[in-house]
Amino acid sequence: MRAHCNNLCIGFGGCVPSGKDMMIRRISLQWIAAGLVLGSVNGDIIYLKNGNELEGTVVEQSEFFIKFKTGLATVEFEMAEVKEVLKGRTFLDVYREMWILADHEDPDAKLELATWARQHRLEEEAELELQQVLLLDPENRTARMQLGYVKMNGKWVTRDDANLGKGLVRYGGKWMTPQEREKRRDSVLRIQTRRRINSIFKMMQKAEPFEQEKLIQELLKIQNAHAAPAIVRFIDDSHDQLREAATQVLGALKDASVIPTLANSALEDDSEMVRRQATLAMKAIGSVAALNHLTPHLTRNRQKSRRYRAAQALGEIGDPRVIPYLIEALFVKIKIVSGLNPFQRPDQTASENTSKVAGENSVITKFTGEKVEKTSISDGLTSGAKANVEEEFEENPAALEALKRLTGQDFDYSKPKWRTWWNTHEQEVLRNAQKQ
């Protein structure tokens, strides 16, 4: 007949002494855990109707759903998706059995239980045990450190509080300086803005006219420093409607950094609508940079069309400070160079060897009212070549129209009359412009 045993039996051939000696209880917990784990620990298995199967632990189950913990993730399924649930013995079951046998008044025993739970990926249970250790022993260094505490000025504080005390901020799951956070935020915003703008322009390529207007409105909603640099890239797009849309939106954004690109579009683009939109965009931005980029082309550009477009754009922008430069651009002296080139092909006609070169007019380098010295332009002929050089004046109707628009006067192409008028009315005109 089996003798009566006052010890606590655990069901696998061994018993734990029931005495109160804590050292014995701690040592016992180690071999109790070993014995429990040596038993069957195979976990629960859930078989889904789609053929998948998962191994882990059933956390909660009802008639309608089941929560299943696998590794560090907890997933939930409707019971209608589940084919079968096969219950097994898990590490969570072992932990619960160990917890019943542990001495909950002994911080070392609780710490041991927390360590075992963490080793078997039972993070929530481990944290609860560590919190219990601190209730029993507030200065327990191991528990404090595992819970993320650090010593600061002689006191235990959480790592988060310590970082806050150092002036750090949390962003994207990491601690960093406020400057680093702003830099990362700006980088994320830049990427998001560029992707959004690219997506809108891609849709615009295939959109109908009424849809394009809606997409332009979407572009106008993007109000941050990264919008203009992302949009300005479409100024070089092969689609006229995209270039026109880009210039329109850039004007609304009022970012002066895009002025050089807009000025180039106003002079070079093949589409009249794009050139006009680029001009209107510069007018909306209202930067003196537009005047600085356009005024040199009034007299220095060798192409008549570019000189014409520069005057046209300046007239549209409407800043009266360009009046004296428009006066000088009313006509320019050009050289007609013709002659025999020693490298001329026998089949090349004389007309093919004739060119026009803009004359030696005063030009503007910066829009400050300062002029540079006259610069002579080389005839461009090879040494030894004979040539006939003639000079003539080439009028710029756009400069005249711009002057009429800005002054309300009409002195035709008479530079002396325009200069006299400007010398008399300059202060009045500029003063009135400032009031508007």
Q: Where are the domains of the chain?
A: 8-148, 318-342+349-436
277, 281, 283, 286 alpha-carbon torsion, rounded to 10°: -170
Helix ranges (H only) for 298-393 are 304-317, 323-328
Query: Which secondary structure element, helix H or strand E, spans residue 193, and what is its range?
Result: helix 178-205
Largest distance between two CA atoms of the chain: 137
Supply 172's token pair. Answer: 């994207």
Tokens of 152: 């600061």
State pLDDT tens for residues 387-427.
Answer: 566 778 899 999 999 999 999 999 999 999 999 999 999 99
Query: Domain 8-148 falls in which CATH fold?
Result: SH3 type barrels. (2.30.30)
Alpha-carbon distance 366 to 234, whole Å? 28
Tokens representing residue 127 in the block: 């944290």
Find the helix or strand (DSSP H, E) in which 336 lies: strand 331-340
DSSP string, 171-190: ETTEEE-HHHHHHHHHHHHH
- CA 9/CA 106 separation, integer angstroms: 21
Q: How many CB atoms lie within 10 A of CB 345?
A: 9
What is residue 412's three-state secondary structure? coil
Angle between helices 240-253 and 272-285 (to 10 degrees): 10
Per run of 10 residues, the mean pLDDT along the chain (length 436 residues) is: 39 40 47 52 82 85 86 84 84 85 90 90 90 92 89 84 86 90 94 95 88 91 93 93 94 93 95 95 93 94 93 95 95 70 44 42 40 34 52 90 95 96 94 84
| pLDDT of the residue at 296 | 94
| Tokens (6 digits) for 104 | 């909950």
The pLDDT value recorded for residue 195 is: 95
Q: What is the Cα–Cα distance from 79 to 61, expressed in whole angstroms?
A: 9
Cα-to-chain-centroid distance, residue 383 = 56
Residue 57 host element (H or E):
strand 53-61
Nearest to 41 by CA among 100, 146, 127, 116: 116
Give helix then strand counts, H and E, for the chain. 17, 14
Q: Give me the count of residues in the chain.
A: 436
User: Which single residue is written with the structure tokens 């207007």?
Assistant: 213
β strands within 87-209, DSSP E? 149-152, 155-158, 169-171, 174-176
Q: What is the DSSP letter of 297?
A: G
How far apart CA 268 and CA 400 sit, in angstroms, is 21
Confirm if 395 and 331 have CB atoms less than 8 A apart.
yes
pLDDT of amino acid 69: 82
pTM for this predicted structure? 0.58
> Contact, 109 vs 103, CB < 8 A?
yes
